[in-house]
Chains A and B, each alone.
Chain A
Amino acid sequence: MSAIARLLRAREAGILVMLVLFVAVVSLIQPRFFSAETLRIVLLAVPLILVAAMGQMMVLVARHVDLSIGSILGFSAIAAGMIFRDYPELPLYVGFAVGVLSGAALGFVNGLVVTIFKLPSIIVTLGTLSLYRGLLFILSGSKQIDPNDIPEPLIRMAQTSPIDIPWIVIIAYAVAFATWLFLTYTQVGRQIYAIGSNPSAAPLRGIRVMPVTILVFTLSGALAGLAGLIYAARFGYVNPGITGVGFEFTVIAAVVIGGVSINGGVGSVLGTVLGVLLLGSVQVALPILGVSGFWQNAIYGGIILIALVIDRTVRQGGLRGLLARGGA
């Protein structure tokens, strides 16, 4: 098989084709979509999703799912925002540390409960979704972090940097690159794939499933925490009842579109990045096409289901394979 053929057969190729087709179609209908400004808006829109998607991807690869990231994002954003508000004299990185570490701690709890009690992660994280949201209401006293409490340098990170690309964009792609390095070149990174591919074989190969799984949930939480800071930088406020609500579904949509299999063991950083970009393009294209923003969730839901069906047919050798096995 030639290199090009192999490239075309890769999962990522399908997503890339979808992305190019989408951009092409939208640009044909509304030529002003195809512009540097749109690219800028898309690039700006996605860091939030991208950072959290890296965590969710690792969780899905390990054959789990993390529904609580929206609440973790909210919690970390509130925690960091309260540091900014109540201790304005502290340097910015203290707030960052608080955000990321609180996210990591909440993710760690998820991992601990899932592995110790051997419970399905979907139910556990559905519980912590609610639990963390409640905690963040208690922590914040149901009060919003106002725009003038968010430090100026943090806001600027969403706008500029020395090289004219906003810092948060640079951070997001740096996180993606680091994730790629971690998953490709470290032993633990490969073990995550092994666990997801075959959870019962992994321990027989000497993989310590429990610590690795806990690590994956912790990373997912930490990245959601980082996303919380990006949220504060980009939107300039944090509201306990709004920040991060429903965010988990956007992220899961992006990751599933990116070709990460819900059955574990399959998924790549490149695919996830493309999935995030496709979702970001949809988000930006809707108003340009004059479609009401109310359609956004319906489209996300539809895309998830389509991606699932495609994933299913690919794994079972196309439609014929699916139909042949459909007998039982």
Chain B
Amino acid sequence: MNSIDKPTPSTTTPTIVVREAAAPRPRWQVLLIRPETVTLVLLVVATIVASRLSPFFADLGFILESSTYYIEFAIVALVLTLVIISGEIDLSPAAQMALSACLFGTAFKAGLPMPVAIGVSLLAGLVMGAFNGFLVTVLRLPSIIVTIGTLILFRGLAQVLAGDKSIGGFPSWFVGIDYRMVGIVPVPVVVFVAASVLLGLFLGITIYGRQIYQIGTSEIAAIHAGIRVRRIKMGLFIASGLVSSIAGLMVASRLGSVRYDLASGAELTMVLIVMLGGTYIFGGRGSILGTFLAAWLLVIIATGMTVANIAINAQLTVMGLLLIVSIIMTNAIYARSQR
């Protein structure tokens, strides 16, 4: 026996530190250090800067029109927010968009009527989501690596279905969803806003919504509290698949054709929107409001770069940097407010 095993006797007598209960932070301070506030401030700053640089940005119609490309991903990002709050992650939605859209295209080419083809696509979304959910909740594999695997699988199957050709020739009522307007607002934006409100309410005031937070905060505690963790997670993955297939159909409608590389690389965009919105990467914190604001922030930044003639490839640099900076910021803010 050597002395290292014993507690060293030389430690000073324990002094009892009397700590006073910290006074509750004033309400404005609590509100101010939320990540969503940062997103909002950035959004306002970006809008002001952009409208100074180009008169286009003063025009709401222009922003709404140019937003449709990102809005498709933002709609998926709303569900991804719930998935990340529950402590999981789904990297496969972009590939799910591609596969369900290619299935839709193939079904249409095979002569099936449009409603059936759309039904096939939505069903495929459900099945893909359930497959992810099965691997994560039943086989208990980590969602990070599972969804990397299914990302490759789904994208690969889309490639098998569609080859390197694009499938098009859809009826005219289906094509051009981004040109259909409700007032001055394109339909995809209406869908996005409606989905934001619905999911925001779901997450904020329903029991299921609150349980998602609890799962993300501490899964073990959630199990002990009788929350059906696996069922909820399964539901979230299925929702993610379903919303991906809807987004895939929207892309198919906007482009008028589908290819296997539809939405390729969009996993970054989706994760970026969620992270910019201040959702905590380790789960348990975040909000639909944040994701909603972040989507618009991204629209302004991306459109701004395009107006400023920055090549789309060079924009990748900014997107990557934004992702890293936003997780660092969000982590810092949560670390501060947790003290």
- List residues of A whose CB falls within 8 A of some B CB: 65, 113, 117-120, 122-124, 126-135, 137-138, 142, 240-241, 249, 252-253, 256, 262-263, 292, 294-302, 304-305, 308-309, 312, 322, 325-326, 328
**Across the interface, do B275 and A123 meet the contact criterion of CB distance under 8 Å?**
yes
A309 and B160 contact, CB distance less than 8 A: no
The one of B152, B164, B311 in contact with A142, judged by C-beta atoms closer than 8 angstroms, is: B311
Q: List 7 A-B contacts (CB under 8 A).
A: A123-B281, A137-B314, A142-B313, A252-B148, A256-B149, A309-B141, A312-B139
Known: A134-B317, A142-B313. A117 touches B150 (CB 8 A): no
**How many residues does chain B have at the interface if contact means C-beta atoms less than 8 Å apart?**
53
- The 9 nearest A-B residue pairs measured at CB: A301-B153, A131-B320, A134-B317, A298-B156, A297-B156, A134-B316, A301-B152, A130-B320, A127-B323
B16 CB to nearest chain A CB (Å): 28
Among B51-59, B64-72, B240-248, B324-332, the stretch that binds chain A is: B324-332
- Pick the residue among A123, A298, A308 that contacts B271 (CB under 8 A): A123
CB distance from A314 to the nearest CB of B (A): 13
Q: Is the CB of B142 within 8 A of A126?
A: no
| Chain A residues, CB < 8 A from B272 | 127
Contact B148 A304 (CB under 8 A): yes
When A133-B316, A298-B159 are in contact, do A312 and B141 touch as well, CB less than 8 Å? yes
> With the chains together, A146 CA to B318 CA distance in Å?
28
Given A119-B331, A249-B148, A328-B230, A124 and B156 touching (CB < 8 A)?
Answer: no
Complex interface: chain A residues within 8 A of B317 (CB): 130-131, 134-135, 137-138
Q: How far is the CA of A299 from the CA of B157 in the complex (A)?
A: 9
Contact between B324 and A113, CB atoms less than 8 A apart: yes
Instruction: Report how far A286 CA is from B105 CA in the complex, Å.
Output: 26
Contacts of B268 in A (CB 8 A): 126-127, 129-130
Residue contact A124 to B141, C-beta cutoff 8 Å: no
Q: Chain B contacts of A138 at CB under 8 A?
A: 314, 317
What residues make up the interface of B, taking CB atoms closer than 8 Å to A? 89, 91, 135, 138-142, 144-146, 148-157, 159-160, 163-164, 223, 229-230, 260, 265, 267-268, 271-272, 275, 281-282, 311, 313-324, 327-328, 331
With the chains together, A126 CA to B226 CA distance in Å? Answer: 35
A123-B275, A131-B321, A295-B156 known; A308 and B149 CB under 8 Å?
yes
Is B149 within 8 A of A126, CB to CB?
A: no
Least Cβ distance of A251 to chain B in Å? 11
Q: Which A residue's beta carbon lies closest to that of B149?
A: A304
**Known interface pairs A297-B155, A301-B151. Does A117 touch B328 (Cβ–Cβ under 8 Å)?**
yes
Q: A129-B268, A134-B318, A295-B160 are in contact. List 19 more A-B contacts (CB 8 A).
A: A119-B327, A119-B331, A127-B322, A128-B324, A130-B265, A134-B314, A134-B316, A134-B317, A137-B311, A253-B152, A294-B156, A297-B153, A301-B155, A304-B149, A308-B141, A312-B140, A322-B139, A328-B223, A328-B229
Question: Is B163 touching A263 in the complex (CB atoms < 8 A)?
Answer: no
The CA-CA distance from A318 to B47 in the complex, in Å, is: 57
| Shortest Cβ distance from A68 into B: residue | B320
B313 in complex: contacting residue of A120, A240, A294, A296, CB < 8 Å: A240
- Cβ–Cβ contact B313 & A302, under 8 A: no
A68 to chain B, nearest CB (A): 9
Taking CB as reference atom, which chain A residue is nearest B260? A294
Determine the chain A residues whose CB is within 8 A of the CB of B223 once the complex forms. Answer: 328
Instruction: Tell which of A142, A249, A298 touches B157, judged by Cβ atoms closer than 8 Å.
Output: A298
Collect the chain A residues with CB atoms within 8 Å of residue B142's CB. Answer: 262-263
Question: Taking CB as reference atom, which chain A residue is nearest B282?
Answer: A120
Closest to B268 in A: A130
